[in-house]
């Protein structure tokens, strides 16, 4: 059973449908006790970092999430679900994240770019992980974001993407898999990525 966290925002139904289509059971919940018992956790998200952290805190999810990840529960973060893993975001001043991964979330600054980045862009695979099984280098995925993560530990970077600069578009460390793009909006390859995560959870 893959547990998808509902904090009041995000593409929950698209993610749920994607996993169901890939052949995996899904439970959407906003209850911390469900996360504590989860076989795997997915945190999708759209919107502002500050609002996401506020809602996770209000739901009593922050400590539960950190504990579950630290004990080895497979975790897939999508968009904001990637960003909140880090120490802080500069969006609307400074907001503390879960601090599971060291680093900051910063904004695209180039005046030549359209911000947010919205649309298809390609992945440069730096470190292959099981999440990218059957997904070729330079594959295109769908992005919608104004901010991106800057990890202190460059060894956790799975892929980068070029948008004015080369930024981190996914990370992996131990049981943590997290992506800036939206696999649930990325058609066939996105479905393959959700299937890959399900296979990781199932030990395949």
Q: What's the alpha-carbon Rg for the chain, to the nearest Å?
A: 15
Q: Which residue in the block uniquely carries the two structure tokens 């199932």?
A: 202
Angle at 158 between CA 69 and CA 200, to 5 degrees: 50
In the set 79, 88, 145, 172, the catalytic residue is 79
C-alpha separations of 54 from 7, 39, 46 in Å = 9, 25, 14
pLDDT at residue number 12: 87
The token duo for 158 is 């799975």
Mean pLDDT for the chain?
A: 95
Q: For 44-55, write each residue's pLDDT tens digit.
A: 988 899 999 999
Is residue 112 among the annotated active site residues? no
| pLDDT reported for residue 24 | 96
Domains of the chain: 2-202 (3.40.50.880)
At 39-82, the pLDDT tens digits run: 999 999 888 999 999 999 999 999 999 999 999 999 999 999 99
- The 3-state secondary structure of 11-75, one letter per residue: CHHHHHHHHHHCCCCEEEECCHHHHHCCCEEEEEECCCHHHHHHHHHHCCCHHHHHHHHHCCCCE
11 pLDDT tier (thresholds 50, 70, 90): confident
Task: Say whether 184 is catalytic.
Answer: yes
Mean pLDDT, residues 153-172 taken together: 97
pLDDT score recorded for residue 54: 95
CB neighbours (10 Å) of residue 111?
6
Alpha-carbon span 146 to 136, nearest angstrom: 26
16 tagged catalytic: no
């Amino acid at each position: 059973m893959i547990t998808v966290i509902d904090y009041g925002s995000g593409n929950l139904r698209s993610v749920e449908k994607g996993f169901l289509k890939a052949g995996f059971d899904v439970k959407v919940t906003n209850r911390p006790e469900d996360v504590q018992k989860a076989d795997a956790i997915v945190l999708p998200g759209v919107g502002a970092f500050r609002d996401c952290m506020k809602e996770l805190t209000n739901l009593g999810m922050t400590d539960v999430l950190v504990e579950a990840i630290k004990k080895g529960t497979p975790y897939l973060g999508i968009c904001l679900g990637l960003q909140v893993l880090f120490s802080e975001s500069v969006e609307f001043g400074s907001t503390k994240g879960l601090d599971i991964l060291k680093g900051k979330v910063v904004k695209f600054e180039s005046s030549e770019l359209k911000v947010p980045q919205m649309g298809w862009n390609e992945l440069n695979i730096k470190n292959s992980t099981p999440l990218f099984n059957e997904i070729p280098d330079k594959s295109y995925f769908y992005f919608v974001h104004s901010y991106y993560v800057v990890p202190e530990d460059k060894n956790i970077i799975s892929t980068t993407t070029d948008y004015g600069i080369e930024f981190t578009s996914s990370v992996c460390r131990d049981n943590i898999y997290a992506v800036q793009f939206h696999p649930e909006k990325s058609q066939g390859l996105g479905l393959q990525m959700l299937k890959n995560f399900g296979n990781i959870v199932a030990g395949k």
